[in-house]
């Protein structure tokens, strides 16, 4: 992409990156479904693969509380 910067015809240059991002999200259990008029629906099912562990949840809440105390 860098070597062809300035000669791009449009945003289609980003299509391979979009595909990679979509595949990575799907590996994590997240599915993005295209809808009419360019909108999308993001499905994040509640499964162990997509839910934080108790340790992750505690770390998040601790960091959030610490940020709010400043």
What are the sequence ranges of the domains in the chain? 2-69
pLDDT of 46: 82
* Mean pLDDT of all residues in 1-23: 90
3 state DSSP class of 33 = strand
CA distance 36 to 22: 18
Per-residue model confidence as pLDDT tens digits over 40-70? 999 888 878 778 899 999 999 999 999 988 7
Locus of tokens 């295209």: 34
pLDDT of 55: 94
Rounded to two decimals, what is the model's pTM?
A: 0.54
């Amino acid at each position: 992409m860098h070597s062809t910067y300035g000669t791009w015809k449009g945003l289609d240059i980003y299509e391979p990156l979009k595909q990679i991002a979509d595949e990575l999200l799907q590996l994590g259990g997240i599915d993005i479904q295209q809808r009419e008029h360019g909108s999308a629906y993001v499905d994040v099912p509640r499964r162990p693969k997509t839910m934080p562990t108790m340790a992750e949840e505690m770390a998040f809440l601790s960091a959030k509380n610490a940020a709010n105390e400043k």
